[in-house]
Amino acid sequence: MVFKFSGTSLDQEHLENLQYYKYAAVDKSLISNYILRHYWNAVVNLFPLWMAPNLITLLGLAFMMINVALVAIYVPDLSTEAPNWIYFSFAAGLWLYSTFDNVDGKQARRTGTSSPLGEAFDHGCDALNCCFVAILQSAALGLGQSYSSIGLVLVTVVGFYLSTAEEYFTKVLYLGIVNGPTEGILVSCLAFIWSGFYGAQSWHVPLADISCLSWVSALLPSGTRCADVFVWGMFVFFLTTHCPFCFASIYRVCKEKSLKLFNVLVTILYPITSYMLAVYLLISSPYSHIFENNDVILFSLVIGILFGMMASDIIVAHLTVNVYPSFKFVLGLLWTMAILVNIPYFGTHFLSQQSEHIALWTIFISLVTLYLIWATQIIRAFCKFLGINCLTIRRQPQSIPQDNEAQTESDALLDHQEGGQILSSGNPTSSSYNTFQ
């Protein structure tokens, strides 16, 4: 079976690998292990045993989608001061998303429905949520139609991309002492609550005008605002902590498995670099009307859905021990858009301001449709092979044969993940790591 909208080839041979998959993860966050873990353990008991884990994940994502809709209605330009309750809704929505995202695995263990589909579904929703979070942040900070708004989307998706690529090669999902899914979400929630009390414009006060922070302004460019510090802080965190740790883990695996580091780096960096370059050419072109048309939200959703395809492709490849995806559809569409916008450089005007707006809407609607078809294909393939349902729990699960020892080991992996320890089943050989040769 070949999924036409992605680079994933998923046949029976690859599906067979699902029965050998064992989860391996580590979360070093002190907040997660000493505070939130107890909160999640209590919350999961509020869900009935008939509720499927994937349904919990989907409901969590729905909270974020509702808030993105509120942004489109109340803050379409990402700079207008919205009613205070909107920002509190952002905080509640993100917190509920995080809560549901962390208890879905616990629900799977309670109901005995843990499966590779759960990880694919969970991570797929996380990938889509990257652009949703960035849109809410831009609205709460009042960033408007600016490069900063797009920058928040890019730094979020690139960070998630590197973590997903790291998991593909290392076979371990690693979350550091300070990480986006825990501390990053907490900071964002606090920022939303601040905007709820003081308004988005409070982020536009220059640091020099704040007595307790005036000394900081001397170290930064003149006129630096609080919103600028938030955005720059995201980039600094990514460059100084997240990025180095991801590459360090990948380097360690290459050394242990005798993989060619250059090939692995090309495999990882080529797609995301091409993705970012195409986005840059789209928004920086003097012939682009994205900012003039107030289309930053729409554009963010377009590149967010495309990224969702990229990240989900990697996750599926990881679960099925498949070759690292090529992302031909995603990159092809992005570069086609970039070329069409920049055609005037060659003396031909192809898109007017109005037609570009219509084209972006057409692409968005088409992508939503294609994404749903593509995701449904993958989910059905997983469900059929594993003998499970996606959003409901079968009364008599018909899962693939698995002995009690294997099931016990699987549960132990989840237990140790909560405790911040690494447990990895099996010793994948170098053949499990497929790169461009």
Q: What would the two tokens of residue 351 be?
A: 């898109």
> How far apart (Å, rounded) are the C-alpha atoms in residues 48 and 111?
10
Specify the length of the chain in residues: 437
Burial (Cβ within 10 Å: 0-12, 13-18, ≥19) of residue 362: exposed
Give the count of alpha carbons within 13 A of 226, CB side only. 18
Q: Which amino acid is at 61?
A: L
Q: Is 385 a domain residue? A: yes
- Helices 147-170, 226-237: axis angle to 10 degrees equals 20
User: Which residue's entry shows tokens 């698995």?
Assistant: 402
82: left (phi over 0), alpha (psi -120 to 50) or beta: beta
Q: Is 430 a domain residue? A: no
Q: Is 193 a domain residue? A: yes
User: Which residue's entry shows tokens 């989907």?
Assistant: 58
Q: Is 429 a domain residue? A: no
User: Which residue's entry shows tokens 């497929």?
Assistant: 434
The whole domain housing 235 covers 12-424
420: left (phi over 0), alpha (psi -120 to 50) or beta: left
Q: Is 436 a domain residue? A: no
Q: Is 252 a domain residue? A: yes
Q: Is 432 a domain residue? A: no
3-state helix, strand, coil in the chain (%, to 5): 70, 5, 25
User: Cβ(290)–Cβ(402) under 8 Å?
Assistant: no
User: Cβ(297)–Cβ(72) under 8 Å?
Assistant: yes
User: Cβ(338)–Cβ(280) under 8 Å?
Assistant: no
Torsion of CA 171, 172, 178, 184, to 10 degrees: 70
- pLDDT in single tens digits along all 437 residues of the chain: 545 455 556 788 899 999 988 888 899 999 999 999 999 999 999 999 999 999 999 999 999 999 999 999 999 999 999 999 999 999 999 999 999 999 999 999 999 999 999 999 999 999 999 999 999 999 999 999 999 999 999 999 999 999 999 999 999 999 999 899 999 999 999 999 999 999 999 999 998 888 887 788 778 888 899 999 999 999 999 999 899 999 999 999 999 999 999 999 999 999 999 999 999 999 999 999 999 999 999 999 999 999 999 999 999 999 999 999 989 999 999 999 999 999 999 888 888 999 999 999 999 999 999 999 999 999 999 999 999 999 999 875 444 444 444 444 545 455 544 444 444 444 444 334 444 33
Q: Is 437 a domain residue? A: no
Beta bridge mates, 2? 9
Domain count, the chain: 1
